[in-house]
Amino acid sequence: MARPTLVIIGQGAAGLAAALAAAEAAHESERDIIVTLIDKASEQEAGGNTRWSPSYMRMAAPDRIEPSFVRDVMQATRGAGDERYFTRLAEQAPATVAWIVSHGVKFHQPTYYLAKGPPRIQPVGGGPALLAALVEEAKRAGVAFRYRCAAQSLLHEDGRICGVALAGGETIRADAVVLASGGFQGNGAMMREHIGAGAETMRLISPGTSFATGDGIRMAHALGADLSGDWNGMHAEPVDARSKNSAPVVLVYPYGIVVDRTGRRFFDEGAGLVHETWEHFARHIHFKAPDSIVFAIIDSRLFAIEGYERAIRSEVPPARANTLAELAAQLGIDGKTLAQTVADYNAACIGDEKTFEPTRCDGLAAAPTLRPSKSNWARAIARPPFLGYPLVGAVAYTFGGLATDLRARVLRNGAPIPGLYAAGEITGHFHHTAPNAVAMLRALVFGRIAGREAAEFLAGNH
Ligand SMILES: Cc1cc2nc3c(=O)[nH]c(=O)nc-3n(C[C@H](O)[C@H](O)[C@H](O)COP(=O)(O)OP(=O)(O)OC[C@H]3O[C@@H](n4cnc5c(N)ncnc54)[C@H](O)[C@@H]3O)c2cc1C
């Protein structure tokens, strides 16, 4: 009899966790299973979003999740998420991180940008370190890797998965498949269809983001797989329009104001910590601001904020001028309106500036007459030089994807499709806003579950 074969599609965190877990499970049970991981990118580029992700994970410590984790995550989904799924995630997170540590990845607990918020841990070296360690360990465990190898469709016979057709025309045998090919943010037509007109021109936040073109979602859907998650939802962040860096976020906007080209404010820059406002803000920039660009305007007191550099990931210095008129001219903003906007804003900054505290919501609100309001960090913009950052919205990942159960099985009419698993961004579990620092954790936790389940399936135990 031919050796059972598991094919994993995608070499991000989810695919690697699945591959390594499956190879280990096969080894432990002394089963002879072939595990092959294919990726459509070259070896140097494979790794999708994972390769470019700082990979913060919402945990109190590597062995501990916050007691409020499930409640907080469900709140981010406004109650639309599957509570059992996030409970499983919380239960499995410490064991999964311990497993990653056992494969040579170290974790630390750095300050997250500037603002406080839920505690987060991070692999030392971020996504690239995680990727390198898991590839090496998976190879050592016997996983075969193939690059420049794009999956095109899933083959099935008598209701069972039997192979994967590749874009080049080749077919590879597969008795089970783990789909881990990411979301659809790199697919202009899908972005337009699900997120709306204009979404196809949205900047992709990192070079790896472009590889997620919804292939796995399409392949499983062709087999009748159920779809899930918020199809209009995506995680997006404000980035420096001029920067060539990956994810050049500029997260100091709460300490000043943001105007569009007409020189007008349009939202409460201090409505919450940056991870609570950035998604809505980035979306507004792209879909509503004239020319899809806005400008953060701050004064030189930024430099007195300890660690402010952590909140700016752009390599390009801000525009800088001694008068607002000069700054407006440099940035291409209507100078007269900007002067009026700043004057109105400054007049509304009536709170005690001594209570200004950049790392938490400080309650230093502008006068209630200010429109839009400013709920925190409302200090006058008065001390030159004045600084300006042009910002655009950049997408990191989409929320709509495949419906999966607690065992990472892909569902069809609510029942598992035998031999088909999925994990990571390809799965649809987020709604409304992304729960902060959860995407990477879910890719690892459910990737590992998918790998183990697939190995069990191939051993004939399911
Ligand atoms: C800049 C940035 C910062 C982030 N920061 C954080 C953070 O701090 N915390 C957090 O929790 N999350 C963060 N995220 C999100 C997180 O990194 C991702 O959710 C996670 O890496 C997704 O892993 P994945 O395995 O699902 O997909 P990916 O890592 O995107 O991997 C998908 C892989 O599938 C391959 N592929 C696609 N189509 C095919 C095909 N047809 N055939 C074969 N292969 C295919 C791609 O080439 C790619 O290698 C961030 C993301 C980015 C981009």
For residue 54, what pLDDT is reported? 96
For residue 276, the domain's CATH number is 3.90.700.10
Residues 62 and 149 in one domain: yes
- Report the percentage of the chain scoring pLDDT > 90: 95
- For residue 425, how far is its CA from the centre of ligand 1 (angstroms)? 7
Regarding the beta carbon of 33 and ligand 1, being less than 6 Å apart is answered: no
Residues 71 and 215 in one domain: yes
pLDDT over threshold 70, residue 462: no
Beta pairing class for 160-166 and 171-173: antiparallel
Query: pLDDT-derived band of residue 112, with 50, 70 and 90 as boundaries?
Result: confident
CA pair distance 72, 65, nearest whole angstrom: 12
Site of tokens 């994990």: 423
User: What integer is the mean pLDDT of 167-181?
Assistant: 97
Residues 381 and 415 in one domain: no
- List the residue whose alpha carbon is closest to atom 19 of ligand 1: 439
- List the residue whose alpha carbon is closest to atom 51 of ligand 1: 53
- Cis bond before residue 238 (omega within 30° of 0): no
CA pair distance 224, 405, nearest whole angstrom: 16
For residue 461, what pLDDT is reported? 66
Residues 12 and 142 in one domain: yes
Residues 355 and 330 in one domain: yes
H helix count then E strand count, the chain: 10, 19
Regarding the beta carbon of 247 and ligand 1, being less than 6 Å apart is answered: yes
Site of tokens 């972005």: 191
CA pair distance 172, 75, nearest whole angstrom: 42
Q: Of all helices (H) and strands (E), which one includes residue 343?
A: helix 335-348
Residues 137 and 81 in one domain: yes
For residue 40, what pLDDT is reported? 98
Regarding the beta carbon of 425 and ligand 1, being less than 6 Å apart is answered: yes
pLDDT over threshold 80, residue 260: yes
CA geometry: angle at 122 spanning 240 and 271, to 5°?
50
Regarding the beta carbon of 296 and ligand 1, being less than 6 Å apart is answered: no
pLDDT over threshold 90, residue 113: no
Regarding the beta carbon of 396 and ligand 1, being less than 6 Å apart is answered: yes
- For residue 335, how far is its CA from the centre of ligand 1 (angstroms)? 41
Between 151-160, 261-270, 324-333, the lowest mean confidence (pLDDT) is in: 151-160
Cα dist from 329 to 262, 322, 335, whole Å: 12, 12, 7
Digit-coded pLDDT (tens) for 305-338 = 999 999 999 999 999 999 999 999 999 999 999 9
User: What integer is the mean pLDDT of 108-128?
Assistant: 90
Residues 167 and 26 in one domain: yes
For residue 114, what pLDDT is reported? 83
- For residue 189, how far is its CA from the centre of ligand 1 (angstroms)? 19
pLDDT over threshold 70, residue 2: yes
- List the residue whose alpha carbon is closest to atom 7 of ligand 1: 55
Containing structural domain, residue 291 = 236-394
Residues 171 and 293 in one domain: no
Max intra-chain CA distance, the chain: 80
Of 279, 227, 233, nearest to 427 by C-alpha is: 227
Instruction: Give the total number of structural domains in the chain.
Output: 2
pLDDT over threshold 70, residue 155: yes
CA pair distance 235, 254, nearest whole angstrom: 19
Give the chain's mean pLDDT: 97
Residues 451 and 405 in one domain: yes
Q: Identify the DSSP state of 402.
A: E
Residues 405 and 357 in one domain: no
User: What integer is the mean pLDDT of 382-398?
Assistant: 98
CA pair distance 301, 275, nearest whole angstrom: 22
User: What integer is the mean pLDDT of 141-158?
Assistant: 97
* Strand, helix or coil for residue 44: coil
For residue 31, what pLDDT is reported? 87
- For residue 13, how far is its CA from the centre of ligand 1 (angstroms)? 7
Regarding the beta carbon of 435 and ligand 1, being less than 6 Å apart is answered: no
